[in-house]
Structure 1
Amino acid sequence: MLLLAGLMLSTLAACEAGEATGTARAEDGYATGTVVDTQGNPIAGAKILLDNSVFRTSYIDTTTGEDGSYRVRVQPGAWRAYATFKKDYNGQTYTLRLRPDAADSFDQDGAVRNFTWQLEGRRPENDAGYYGGYIHPSREVGFEHDMEDVELVLTPDGPLIDGSAGKQLRLRLNDHYWRDLFQIEDIPIGRYTVTATLQGDGQGRPLRVRDWHGQDDLAPAFQLDFRPETGSTPGATAALVIGD
């Protein structure tokens, strides 16, 4: 009897602790959760996709309500939950991935999967994927300097896509963002002024840059805007050219 009473008290305490911390409990037969932005505000209209991890092209989807919550019935099988939403920024519409609080699969017993908008960071379901945008750097014809000696500076020109101020980024090959010669990864999506210098002997010699997509000549600086990925594919990319 004492053991039974102890177990009941432990269960009651766990339930009360869950309620006190706001921890949601799984609902049998349903996937539920909430979606919030970088400031913790609810995102209405986010698309929730349940993907069957066994059978290809087997999906269940829904969208979040005004309070950022969703509830969708789960069929038998093994499922993983994903979330995206559309955001207008500087005249373009971006489809953005959202980060789940858990990336493991679940079944018809139901699960709670909450999602948060992150400007950068590695996606848990894809070791090669990030929440930030990609920039593809290249050399102007005749530029023969070692790219390891190039420093790019990205200065925010206005608020980032989530409305935050952002920060100036100094990029060198093999650093946190510029991991590969031809790809800079995980840059918070925003509008940036880009400049470049050639580092050496303790001094930086100004280089010239341009937008790879544009027709402008090389200049001391240019305005970089990320382009949304085509169709409904989440993400954003940009490209630049570096020269003397």
Structure 2
Amino acid sequence: MNATKKAVFAFACLASLALSGCEQQAGTGHGDAQAQAQAQAQAGYATGKVVDTQGRPIAGAKILLDNSVFYNSYIHGSTGEDGTYRIKAQPGAWMAQASFKKNYNGQTYNLELHPDKSDSFDDEGAVRNFTWKLEGRTPLNEYGYYGGLIQLDTDLGFHEDLEKIELTLTPIGPLIDGSQGKILHLRLEDHYWKQAGLIEDVPIGRYKVTAVLKNDEGSRALRIQDRDTRGDFQPGLQLDFKPESGTRTRNSAAIILGD
């Protein structure tokens, strides 16, 4: 083999070794990532982190381990300043839930948090992280959602078709998480207003509500009343969601439409 052929052969060998080394390194990195993800679970403990809508840690969030076999069997814990928690898991099958309290416009709301996994686990340990969501369906209850509920009624003598009504919700100040809300134009059977008397999963905030009837004769503004306070009918109403309580199953508001 002459000098030129030897040089080409040596270069090919080095290239082959380098490629093999890169492949091995890439494979090792993937394996390390998998092992690291598996190693996050601590034997005998439920661990995880809770963050808000911006990814910032939530301190003082309540963590509940609910036994999926035995009724009314719970283990309680909470998150530290860094948003993490570590709870000793007893033998059995457990489901992790999380919530936290948030003060907003003079009221205190208890807010359910969204889990990254909703399957059960045992005392071998598991990682369950939670995120605050302003809206969206909950994984453990097909009828549950993170936003607020608006109950809608019509005044006596008002017989217009709800399909001809458009509600507009204009945010007054920031939403409950501090973010800038958006104006919502709601019609029956849209994303939020799926049932005649129920507008569901609206991001919790303070809104100005207005209503317009649109029919063959044109458009005309409607008046709105707060159903809970029974104040005067107004062309525009400030709407605040009332926190969930012993008699109220969800953060909600209630309005009445009339001419």
TM-score over 0.5 for the alignment? yes
User: Residues 62-114 of structure 1: CA distance to partner in whole angstroms, max 9, x if unpaired?
Assistant: 00000000000101111100000000000000000000000011111110000
Q: Distance in 2 between matches of 1:84 and 1:216?
A: 34
Q: Is the 8 A contact 1:94 1:234 kept in 2?
A: no
**Corresponding residue number in structure 2 for 1:13:** 29
Answering whether residue 235 of structure 2 is matched by residue 238 of structure 1, we say no
Q: Is the 8 A contact 1:84 1:234 kept in 2?
A: no
How big is the shift at 1:203?
Answer: 3.6
Answering whether residue 241 of structure 2 is matched by residue 226 of structure 1, we say yes
Q: Distance in 2 between matches of 1:23 and 1:35?
A: 19
Q: Distance in 2 between matches of 1:85 and 1:19?
A: 32
**Closer, same or farther: CA 140–70 of 1 in aligned 2, 3 Å:** same
How big is the shift at 1:18?
Answer: 4.8
TM (norm. structure 2) is 0.86
* SS of structure 1 residue aligned to 2:200: strand
**Closer, same or farther: CA 35–77 of 1 in aligned 2, 3 Å:** same
Identity of aligned residues (%): 58
How big is the shift at 1:219?
Answer: 1.0
How big is the shift at 1:201?
Answer: 3.1
Q: Supply the AA of the counterpart residue of 1:209.
A: I
Q: Is the 8 A contact 1:209 1:243 kept in 2?
A: yes
How big is the shift at 1:11?
Answer: 8.5
Quick check: 159-168 or 207-216, which moved more? Answer: 207-216
**Closer, same or farther: CA 113–50 of 1 in aligned 2, 3 Å:** same
Mapping of 1:44-83 within 5 angstroms? 44-83=59-98
Report the structure number with the largest CA radius of gyration: 2
Alignment partner for residue 216 of structure 1, among 231, 235, 240? 231
Q: Supply the AA of the counterpart residue of 1:45.
A: G
**Corresponding residue number in structure 1 for 2:132:** 117
Alignment partner for residue 186 of structure 2, among 163, 166, 171? 171
Q: Distance in 2 between matches of 1:233 and 1:206?
A: 31
Q: Distance in 1 between matches of 2:213 and 2:154?
A: 13
Q: Supply the AA of the counterpart residue of 2:145.
A: Y
**Closer, same or farther: CA 202–104 of 1 in aligned 2, 3 Å:** farther
**Closer, same or farther: CA 12–61 of 1 in aligned 2, 3 Å:** farther
**Corresponding residue number in structure 2 for 1:40:** 55
Quick check: 195-204 or 10-19, which moved more? Answer: 10-19
Aligned residues: 236
Structure 1 outlier segments of 4+, above 2 Å: 8-20, 201-204, 231-235
Alignment partner for residue 85 of structure 1, among 100, 105, 109? 100
Q: Distance in 2 between matches of 1:76 and 1:232?
A: 35
**Corresponding residue number in structure 1 for 2:206:** 191
Listed as ranges, the gaps of 5+ residues in structure 1 are 1-7
How big is the shift at 1:204?
Answer: 2.3
User: Residues 163-212 of structure 1: CA distance to partner in whole angstroms, max 9, x if unpaired?
Assistant: 01100001111111011111110000000000000012384211111111
Mapping of 1:86-105 within 5 angstroms? 86-105=101-120
TM (norm. structure 1) is 0.91
More relative contact order in 1 or in 2 (CA 8 Å, sep 6+)? 1
Q: Is the 8 A contact 1:152 1:171 kept in 2?
A: yes
Q: Supply the AA of the counterpart residue of 1:68.
A: G
**Closer, same or farther: CA 202–63 of 1 in aligned 2, 3 Å:** farther
**Closer, same or farther: CA 143–24 of 1 in aligned 2, 3 Å:** farther
**Closer, same or farther: CA 24–225 of 1 in aligned 2, 3 Å:** farther
**Corresponding residue number in structure 1 for 2:152:** 137
**Corresponding residue number in structure 2 for 1:5:** none
Higher helix share: 2
Alignment partner for residue 121 of structure 2, among 106, 119, 123? 106
How big is the shift at 1:231?
Answer: 4.1
